Structure 1
């Protein structure tokens, strides 16, 4: 496995290959990331993983400065997962000047849920993903593949829309959520949890599953269903941003016909102490 830190070295390393498969990450890797890498290995002729903590997607009060940076351990994990090339640029390499050109996703998709609670988040995500695509895929002669996890469900949807609307020659693949035995979705931020909080954390996915079970059981008053789910978590000490049922294709509230047809997703974001966790459950 080769580790490179500049765009020039990345492109040199990729020169012999035609069809890269790419997994963008912010590092502090866990088994969920490695599952994406293993999926990417079967898609192209070279597997590339980026490790870059992207300042543009953090709000001023968020954890950019304290986000765990564990490059040496990450590289060891990636080597064991079969990654071929790790692209770990410094900030000045990817942003040598202020990034005044940005990608603005549509408000109807990006300003709700995560975008409502983290204004500008998806602009930062889209901008860095677009730039990373240019770094990784510029020389590719064959098919280009990128893999994103379903835990960040709204992010996956935003990236799919961006690729389609810009006619980017990249196929987006999704990876299923990897979970601990107790159901907690694997996340880099799980390391922030105290032992007591870690024991409590699976209540988030339980709340999402309860939402799904209510709809599947015939409940049609979604507002009441969501309010009960939020009250349950709040009573356990969580600070809930949202617990909601949406249509998978556009994250809009479902109509009666959607509830009958299925293809829904329950999404949640809530804080446990200072740690903000997100999760989703398709049904």
Structure 2
């Protein structure tokens, strides 16, 4: 396994690989790797000759400085987990100065409204930070394919829009959500949950499953009211938002359209830990 801390030697290595006609896959992460990340790596290994995992806690996508400070940084453990997955992976683990220089700031993006709802509404500047770091990684590494989990479905759609609007020659691959035994979507934040909170948080996925069941016969407004009332019965969970939205526009659904695909999205707090999840309501 090769670990690159600087972009210049990585770019030289990438150029050598591409000169041999090899396809390159990128799995962007912020570290604190778990089995969800590894599922992305395994998918990338199936589709590409060479796979690079970037590990970088990106400061520009945090609207809360305390959240940035608390975010786990576990590079050595991450590398060991990756070594156990495949012996010939490459890791890119730069510093903020290596990627941003002296001016650690976001570009501003227009994602045609995808950035202004749900996560964008509740996390100021978050998707400008995401767009900035993803664009920089794509420019440095020039992958043929990049792999993102559907747990962050809004982010996935925004990255697709980023590549489209900036004419970046990268195919974006969305990968299914990997879940714990109780249904909780795997996340680096889960490690900060107590055992009790982890059990309680399983309610999020149970609610999404029931939402999918109700969606066949009930209106979006009815389902939203039902979800809000159900969360009020959960003393250890606080609902931040629940929305049924078009998968294409991410706009909140008022009435169901025949040819539209929909997903349900939840953000909730277990104590201080913010958790997100979603589920497809139509095929």
Aligned residues, how many?
A: 275
Partner of 1:118: 123
After TM superposition, which residue ranges in structure 1, 4 or more long, deviate above 4 angstroms? none
Q: Distance in 2 between matches of 1:122 and 1:189?
A: 19
1:123 CA displacement: 0.3
TM-score (norm: length of structure 1): 0.92
1:80 partnered with 2:84: yes
1:12 partnered with 2:12: yes
Name which of structure 1's ranges 45-54 and 61-70 shifts more when overlaid on structure 2: 61-70
Partner of 2:42: 38
Task: Flag structure 1 segments of 5+ consecutive residues without an equivalent.
Answer: none
Q: Distance in 1 between matches of 2:102 and 2:43?
A: 34
RMSD in angstroms over aligned alpha carbons?
Answer: 1.6
The counterpart of 1:89, out of the listed 89, 94, 98, is 94
Partner of 1:253: 252
Partner of 1:68: 72
* Aligned partners of 1:27 and 1:53 also within 8 Å: yes
Cα deviation 1:238-257 (Å, max 9, x = unaligned): 22111111111111133645
* Aligned partners of 1:22 and 1:49 also within 8 Å: yes
1:261 CA displacement: 4.3
1:34 CA displacement: 0.4
1:134 partnered with 2:139: yes
Partner of 2:238: 239
* Aligned partners of 2:97 and 2:104 also within 8 Å: no
Q: Distance in 2 between matches of 1:158 and 1:164?
A: 10
* Aligned partners of 1:6 and 1:89 also within 8 Å: yes
Name which of structure 1's ranges 102-111 and 49-58 shifts more when overlaid on structure 2: 102-111
* Aligned partners of 2:96 and 2:104 also within 8 Å: no
Q: Distance in 2 between matches of 1:114 and 1:101?
A: 17
